[in-house]
Chain A
């Protein structure tokens, strides 16, 4: 039982990293970035390239961070910059198309079968006992990296000048730009940060499963979009708590032997939340105000 909950927290922390990206872009731009799931997927392949080239496996993590971020800036340039004003659906479709291209090209290069991650065996198999529960090093790595990234993001948003600009733009792009904030620059920052986190999340998932897989964008990453709605659109706390909650709930469905239906948990929870509390569990997001518009 505790082992399952630990597993759930680990999967949930990866959900949270992806959901943070969705919610940041939605909070600042009020747009859905559908390429996000595929940048997440590509993080594993970026890590694969880094391990093959460099040999030091953990250096793949910063590499996936940077590659993810660069992809994010490219996605912003292709799918979001031109569509200003009231063109939410256009931007969503354009980013969806970018995502399709990323998957297809990745599949043409690496094939449609999962590719093994060349990392040392002890990372995924060795571990230690903690309060009678077996903890594998890779689980520790995932929890450590995600916690560190979330703490860094929190500090960035609440303590730095860049974070203050991001909050200003999220509150009102017009007012921020009148006060001298470069909205376009802030948008680029947001895309870099959100996609970099997704890239790392993709690599962590590949470390855990041992494979880089082109399917995970749609099967794993897309759940984060529901988690964003569960936590409250544009709310960072909501994305983290929602991700952990869904991870644990999914793990518990395995515990109770209805694991096949685990995939349904996130979507059913989202529909229930929309019925009962459309603004999401936290509802601190900036777009709560016009939720009924």
Chain B
């Protein structure tokens, strides 16, 4: 039982990081549940029907997930960020309805027979993704992402290809979510399309917001606390959406300057914050 808690926490941390990467460019994705589903089903079909080993199926499903992200992300990211919210919401519905209506993916009954994920697999995945994110935060790419998020016109005038950078982040997020999905499916043995409801995507975004988006540790803490806490406090489990919702509202009201003014410590110290 306790092992399950740790496993789901790990999956949620991976999903939270996948939201965080997209958020680094100032965009919000409500499709991480859909990418998780794509990864889960792609890997599940490969291992159960074609006998592909899990070690190969995971990277393959990550690639498929990222390819879908680039395909649907392009028309949205070419224009204003608000469109990505709409497209990702749409993708979540499309993926779920698609999975429910095609016999190949098992329909409403779902897909079964996947196995093989051990607890340490998700731990290793967290370590790898965490290490990559840490390296990213020290790299020039991080500064490009910051520029795109804080002021895309300035970034564009410096010769940064906005669409390319945003697509890169969105695709990377989709790949991580796909990996989380592949591991999740092979742990649960049996998945159904309702496991990847729009609410999954919404809650993951809320984990990230509650944990904070200043750096990569915020999503880690947010996802861990918000997954484990309801398991131990009964009332919290019953009133989960209300408690989460109120927590988000209060947190946002206490930081009215907005979430995306992060990594701006220097501006804050010099006294011209918010300008």
Q: Which residues from chain A sit less than 8 Å from chain B, CB to CB? A: 32, 78-79, 82-83, 85-90, 92-94, 96-101, 103-105, 108, 218, 222, 225-226, 229, 233, 260-261, 263-264, 266-268, 270-271, 274-275, 278, 287, 290-293
Contact = CB atoms under 8 A, between A and B. Distances in A.
A19 to B, nearest CB: 12
B169 interface: no
Contacts of A261: 97, 101
B90 A267 contact: yes
Contacts of B79: 274, 278, 291-292
Contacts of A218: 198-199
A97 B248 contact: yes
24 contacts: A32-B82, A32-B85, A82-B252, A87-B259, A89-B28, A89-B81, A96-B206, A97-B244, A98-B245, A99-B245, A100-B242, A101-B246, A104-B239, A104-B241, A104-B242, A222-B89, A222-B198, A225-B86, A225-B89, A229-B86, A260-B100, A261-B101, A263-B97, A267-B90
A260 B260 CA distance: 40
Contacts of B26: 89
B93 interface: yes
B163 to A, nearest CB: 10
B204 to A, nearest CB: 12
A220 to B, nearest CB: 12
Contacts of B91: 267
B152 interface: yes
B127 to A, nearest CB: 29
Given A79-B249, A101-B245, A90 B260 contact: yes
Given A93-B259, A97-B245, 4 more contacts: A93-B28, A93-B206, A226-B86, A291-B80
Secondary structure type dominating chain B contacts? helix
Contacts of A266: 90
Contacts, number: 133
B80 A264 contact: no
Secondary structure type dominating chain A contacts? helix
Contacts of A88: 81-82
B74 to A, nearest CB: 8
Given A83-B252, A87-B258, A229-B86, A274 B242 contact: no
Interface string B234-275: 000001111011101100110011111000000000000000
Contact of B259 (A89, A263, A271): A89
A229 B209 contact: no
A293 B83 contact: no
A133 B239 CA distance: 48
Interface in B173-201: 198-199
B19 to A, nearest CB: 12
Contacts of A108: 239, 242
A261 B89 CA distance: 17
B90 A226 contact: yes
A234 B101 CA distance: 34
Given A96-B202, A218-B198, A263-B93, A271 B249 contact: no
B205 interface: yes
Contacts of B253: 78, 82, 94
A90 B258 contact: yes
B67 interface: no
Contacts of A268: 94
A101 B76 contact: no
A103 B152 contact: no
B241 A260 contact: no
Contacts of A90: 252, 258-260
Contacts of B78: 278, 292
B118 interface: no
B249 A278 contact: no
B202 A271 contact: no
B160 interface: no
